[in-house]
């Protein structure tokens, strides 16, 4: 399981650059800060989006296959 102790060593090497970006962001206004937050959340949750796409594709394929079997057993 992923916990703070396993993430902090990897985050510490990028921390100065992250702090610089956060410090410069208010110069662009609230819109830039919100856009950066949205991009960060999109990157953090990318694995969830990929799992959803894979699961929905698999479900669609199974439903199509079951529909074909339903038609086969009905004699169509």
pTM, full prediction: 0.58
**Are the C-beta atoms of residues 41 and 48 closer than 8 Å to each other?**
no
* Domain assignment of residue 36, given as a range: 1-44
Note the pLDDT of residue 2: 58
Give, for all 76 residues of the chain, the pLDDT tens digit: 556 666 667 777 877 887 888 788 778 888 888 888 898 888 888 889 999 999 999 999 999 999 999 999 998 7
Tokens for 43? Answer: 């990157």
Note the pLDDT of residue 23: 82
Is the same domain home to 33 and 50? no
Is the same domain home to 56 and 38? no
Is the same domain home to 38 and 2? yes
Is the same domain home to 5 and 22? yes
**Are the C-beta atoms of residues 26 and 33 closer than 8 Å to each other?**
yes
Is the same domain home to 54 and 23? no
- Please give the tally of structural domains in the chain: 2
Is the same domain home to 15 and 40? yes
């Amino acid at each position: 399981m992923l916990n703070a102790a396993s993430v902090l060593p990897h985050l510490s090497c990028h921390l100065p650059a992250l702090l610089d970006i956060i410090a410069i962001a208010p110069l662009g206004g609230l819109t830039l800060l919100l856009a950066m937050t949205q991009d960060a959340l999109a990157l953090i949750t990318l694995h969830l989006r990929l799992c959803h796409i894979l699961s929905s594709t698999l479900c669609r394929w199974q439903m199509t296959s079951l529909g074909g079997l339903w038609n086969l057993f009905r004699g169509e």
